[in-house]
């Protein structure tokens, strides 16, 4: 599965906002990305595919995706969408509106933005809090506090979430064994991978693949 990184969408990381109008004349393969996407259908019909299942789209339909989620489009018939892309650094501003149960957090500190991009770009790295703190020049305890204020979770919790979401995409898109997928996203112990995945989605990797694979 292709993962679209923030750097591919936002040429200037200081301005993590972009938009475009897309005319989808063919299916769009399942993919994930490291930023928020808000897609508004302005014309045509199609079907949106994600972990939540398949949803028919028509004019004025709205799709909202958070960083790490996978999705695609099928059965496109003159489907035209306007997409807004928002970097993960605005997570704090949007989390209350887009993530059920989330409180309102402060805008992300630049070091938090940097840390999120580092984690997203190399999930297979055996990250530790100390290593991440050193990469962004912050003490681990201070980094935890900054993450909590702007993202609503710790750096390691954020890492586990995006690892689980990337693994979910690979389970849908590929035939790779569960153990291989776990290692690809940084979970090298299969039992540990299963526990982490289940804590995010409520299903084991095998159950998830059976439930959501087309």
What do you get for the CA distance between the two ends of the chain, in Å? 14
* Cβ pair 188, 178 in contact under 8 A: no
Provide mean pLDDT across the span 145-166.
89
Residue 190: the pLDDT is 92
Dmax (CA) for the chain in angstroms is 52
7-13: long-range pairs with CB below 8 Å, 24+: 7/117, 9/33, 9/35, 9/85, 10/35, 10/85, 10/87, 13/87, 13/113, 13/117
Q: Detail the DSSP E strand segments found in the chain.
A: 2-4, 17-24, 28-33, 36-50, 53-57, 62-65, 70-86
Q: Does domain 2-86 correspond to CATH entry 2.60.120.10? A: yes
Q: What is the model's pTM?
A: 0.61
Residue 98: the pLDDT is 39
Both tokens of 99, joined, read 């993530």
Residue 63: the pLDDT is 93
Residue 101: the pLDDT is 40
Res. 102: pLDDT tops 50: no
Res. 205: pLDDT tops 50: yes
Tell me which range, 5-9, 10-14, 87-91, 150-154, is most confidently predicted by mean pLDDT.
150-154
Pairing of strands 17-24, 2-4: unpaired
Length of the chain measured in residues:
214
Positive or negative, the CA dihedral 157, 120, 211, 36 is positive
């Amino acid at each position: 599965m292709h993962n679209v990184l923030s750097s591919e969408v936002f040429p200037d990381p200081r301005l993590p906002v972009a938009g475009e109008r897309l005319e989808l004349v063919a299916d769009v393969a399942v993919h994930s990305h490291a930023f928020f996407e808000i897609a508004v259908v302005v014309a045509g019909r199609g079907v949106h595919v994600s972990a939540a299942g398949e949803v028919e789209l028509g004019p004025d339909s709205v799709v909202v995706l958070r960083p790490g989620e996978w999705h695609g489009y099928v059965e496109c018939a003159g489907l035209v969408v306007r997409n807004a892309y928002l970097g993960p650094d605005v997570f704090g501003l949007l989390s209350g509106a887009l993530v059920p149960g989330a409180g309102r957090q402060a805008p992300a500190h630049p070091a938090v933005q940097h840390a999120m991009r580092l984690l997203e770009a190399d999930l297979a790295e055996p990250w530790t809090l100390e290593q991440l703190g050193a990469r962004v020049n912050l003490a681990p305890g201070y980094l935890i506090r900054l993450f909590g204020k702007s993202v609503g979770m710790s750096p390691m919790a954020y890492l586990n979430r995006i690892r689980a979401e990337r693994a979910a995409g690979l389970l849908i898109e590929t035939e790779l064994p569960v153990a291989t997928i776990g290692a690809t996203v940084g979970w090298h112990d299969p039992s540990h991978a299963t526990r982490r995945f289940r804590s995010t989605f409520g299903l084991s990797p095998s159950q998830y693949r059976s439930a959501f694979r087309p």
